[in-house]
Amino acid sequence: MGWIGDTVDSIKSIQIRQLLTQAVSLGMIVTSALIIWKALMCITGSESPVVVVLSGSMEPGFKRGDILFLHMSKDPIRTGEIVVFNVDGREIPIVHRVIKVHERQDTGEVDVLTKGDNNYGDDRLLYAQGQLWLQRHHIMGRAVG
């Protein structure tokens, strides 16, 4: 019985080692992914450097499921650029094209109006109630690829 008990103990020991090895490997993979994500956030200046198109509002340019890489620079936003923005009260980012830029004379801040390429009207119905323009803090980034 001593030999069988020793064999069972050695098998349990191997299983515990394998379990610990797998747990450490999984932890390293998750940590690496988080480090890469944070590095991309710092490099691109965007809170979400990669987004997925969720609707057909930008077809035929972008189809549902396309992956976009974002960058947020200090350069002013121009008409025709494709931006990703969040609307107050909604958590899902929206990918649309800037159709109008409005610069405030008193502060120099730029407000933008957007529209999906496949939509008939502008996005004012998507914005928060009473909101007519997007401010810089609503914009997560510009599509660069």
Q: Is residue 13 annotated as part of the catalytic site, yes or no?
A: no
Query: Residue 72 corresponds to which tokens in the numbers above?
Result: 């947020």
- Determine which one of 10, 57, 66, 75 is catalytic: 57
CA distances from 133 to 87, 98, 118 (A): 11, 11, 20
- Determine which one of 6, 46, 117, 123 is catalytic: 123
Helix (H) or strand (E) holding 84: strand 82-85
Q: Is residue 137 annotated as part of the catalytic site, yes or no?
A: no
- Determine which one of 9, 46, 73, 96 is catalytic: 96
Q: Is residue 111 annotated as part of the catalytic site, yes or no?
A: no
Query: Residue 42 corresponds to which tokens in the numbers above?
Result: 């710092």
Q: Catalytic residues, which ones? A: 57, 96, 123
